[in-house]
Amino acid sequence: MQLRGFVLAACLSGSLTACGAPPPAEAPAPAAPAPAPVATPVAEATSVTGKALVPMALPEADRTKFEANLKAAEEALAKTPDSADALIWVGRRQGYLWQYKNAIATFSKGIERFPNDPRFYRHRGHRNITVRNFDGAIADFEKAAALIKGQPDEIEPDGAPNAAGKPRSTLQFNIWYHLGLAYYLKADYANARRAYDECLRVSDNDDSIAAISDWQWMTYMRMGDQAAAAKVLERITPKMDILENGSYHKRLLMYKGLEKVESLLDATNADDLTIATQGYGVGNYYLVKGDRAKAKEIFDRVLAGKQWAAFGYIAAEVDRARME
C-alpha cells in the first residue's frame, strides 16, 4: 500500500514519467523568418567598354551622413522652390550618394528654369563625365564658358571641405578644369590644352596650380611637346601651400625627378581610393615614358577597384581600352 500510494502521489503531482507515461513531444520550433530580398543595385553608368557600373557600397557612417545632407537639401528646396542655390545643392548631394542619374536630372531641371546660370551646366557637365557622356560634358562646359565670359569669378562652396575649411576652387576654375578633362578623355589634346591654359589663368592658389599643372603636363606629353611639359614643372617646388591636392603635387615632383615612383603608389597593398587617386598618374607616367607593359599593369590595378567615379579611374578605363 505504501508503494501504491507513492506512485499515485507521483501521478497526481504531474510526474508522468513516474507513472510510466511517455514525456510530451517538444513543441516544434518556430520557422525562421525568410531572409529579406536583397535589392539588385541599379547601374548608374556604363563604362566605355559597355560594362554596367553600379554604385559602390558606402561605409555606414558616410551613407547616413550623406542621406541626412540630401534630406536637408530637399527640405531647403521645398521651402525655397525658386532658389537656384537650393536646387544645385540637391543635385550635388545626390551625386555624393552615387545617384548620378538623379543628379543629372536635377541639373537639367535647373537649366530649364535658369538657362543663363553657368553653375547648372558646370555641375551637369561634371556628372556627364562620371557617366561617360563626354560629348555631353563638353557641350555643357562650353556653354558654361560662354556664360562666364567677361564675368567676375566666384568661390565655389565645398561639399566636402578640407581640414582647414578653406575653399580652394572657383566656378571658373572648375568649368575650365573639367572642360579640359572632357577633351583629354576624348583624346582631343589641342582643345584640352586650350581649356587648361584658360584654367591656369584663374588659378590663384597652390592647390589649384598643382591640379591644373598635373593635367597640363600629361596633355603636353601626349602631344609630344616635351618643352611645354618641362616648362610646367618650373613652377612646381617641394614647398607649396597644399591643403587638398597632395596627390597631384607628389606626381609633379615625380615628373621632376624629386620623388620616386615607388613612393607614390604601392599597387599591391594600397586601397581602391588610393589606387584610383594615384594610379592613373603613375600609369600614365609609365605610358608616356614608353613602358606600356607597366602602364597596363597599373591601369588594370586601377580598374580592379570599385572607385569608378574617380577621374583617374575614368582616364585609366579610356586609355586601357585604347591600348587594346
Q: What is the CATH number of the domain that holds 226?
A: 1.25.40.10
- Comparing C-alpha atoms, which of 275, 235, 272 is closest to residue 255? 235
Please state, in angstroms and rounded to a whole number, the distance separating the CA atoms of residues 138 and 251.
Answer: 26
Please state, in angstroms and rounded to a whole number, the distance separating the CA atoms of residues 250 and 214.
Answer: 10
How many domains does the structure of the chain reveal?
3
173/120 same-domain check: yes
Could you read off the pLDDT tens digit of each residue along the chain, which spans 324 residues?
Answer: 333 333 333 333 333 233 333 333 344 455 555 555 556 678 999 999 999 999 999 999 999 999 999 999 999 999 999 999 999 999 999 999 999 999 999 999 999 999 999 999 999 999 999 999 999 999 999 999 999 999 999 999 988 888 888 889 999 999 999 999 999 999 999 999 999 999 999 999 999 999 999 999 999 999 999 999 999 999 999 999 999 999 999 999 999 999 998 888 876 777 787 888 899 999 999 999 999 999 999 999 999 999 999 999 999 999 999 998
On whether residue 52 sits in a domain, the answer given is no
Residue range(s) defining the domain that contains residue 287: 260-324
| Per-residue model confidence (pLDDT) at position 36 | 52
89/175 same-domain check: no
| Per-residue model confidence (pLDDT) at position 12 | 30
226/299 same-domain check: no
96/141 same-domain check: no
Please state, in angstroms and rounded to a whole number, the distance separating the CA atoms of residues 127 and 91.
Answer: 10
| Per-residue model confidence (pLDDT) at position 11 | 35
| Per-residue model confidence (pLDDT) at position 267 | 65
130/109 same-domain check: no
Whether the full predicted model's pTM is greater than 0.85, yes or no, is yes
On whether residue 9 sits in a domain, the answer given is no
Cell of 204: 590663384
On whether residue 7 sits in a domain, the answer given is no
Please state, in angstroms and rounded to a whole number, the distance separating the CA atoms of residues 33 and 279.
Answer: 45
| Per-residue model confidence (pLDDT) at position 30 | 54
Domain boundary pick from 237, 252, 276 = 237
Long-range contacts of 45-50 (CB under 8 A, 24+ apart): 45/100, 45/130, 45/131, 45/132, 45/308, 46/131, 46/132, 47/132, 47/308, 47/317, 48/132, 48/317, 48/318, 48/321, 49/317, 49/321
231/284 same-domain check: no
Q: Cell 510510466: give the residue.
A: 20
For residue 239, how many C-alpha atoms fall within 13 Å in the half-sphere facing its CB?
0
Please state, in angstroms and rounded to a whole number, the distance separating the CA atoms of residues 168 and 207.
Answer: 7
110/128 same-domain check: no
